[in-house]
């Protein structure tokens, strides 16, 4: 139960409180600020089951599911809202066995690097990404292609 409570607090509640605060700032700017961007981060729970990580998968799935609703709710303030699934990213959390398994499954034979997702997020935040809102984008380097 503790892990579930912590996952809700960190992954969902904190994220939504930040979005709410950002929307208030955007409202207070009364149109004097450039358009705003909200990027939520999800995981692969919508592509593949995560039975060993139920609290994590549940709360990351909640963020994915609220994306379209937030996008609709904040559109009149000039804020786009999108969700990014960065795929397996090498942030030091995996064991050597997990790393080797993922490399075998990946068509590019490597893990994602933080910069891989960062480039997509930077594009979504740019003027070029202004037309994209309410979407979940998967930036996993084709990780799930080997399942086909």
Q: Quick check: 86 and 41 in contact, CB under 8 A?
A: yes
93 among known catalytic residues: no
Grouping H, G, I as helix, E, B as strand and the rest as coil, residue 6 is: helix
Strand partners, 112: 89
The one catalytic residue in 39, 40, 56, 62 is 56
Contacts of 138 by beta carbon, 8 Å cutoff, 6+ apart: 47, 85, 87, 144
Query: Residues with catalytic annotation?
Result: 56
């Amino acid at each position: 139960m503790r892990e579930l409570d912590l996952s809700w607090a960190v992954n969902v509640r904190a994220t939504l409180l930040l979005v709410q605060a950002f929307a208030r700032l955007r409202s207070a700017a009364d149109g004097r600020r450039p358009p705003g961007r909200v990027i939520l981060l999800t995981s692969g729970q919508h592509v593949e089951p995560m039975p060993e990580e139920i609290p994590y998968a549940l709360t990351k799935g909640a963020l994915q599911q609220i994306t379209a609703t937030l996008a609709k709710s904040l559109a009149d303030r000039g804020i786009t809202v999108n969700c990014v699934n960065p795929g397996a990213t090498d942030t030091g959390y995996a064991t050597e066995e997990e790393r080797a398994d993922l490399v075998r499954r990946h068509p590019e034979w490597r893990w994602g690097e933080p910069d891989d997702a960062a480039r997509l997020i930077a594009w979504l935040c740019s003027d070029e990404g202004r037309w994209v809102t309410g979407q979940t984008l998967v930036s996993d380097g084709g990780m799930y292609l080997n399942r086909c």
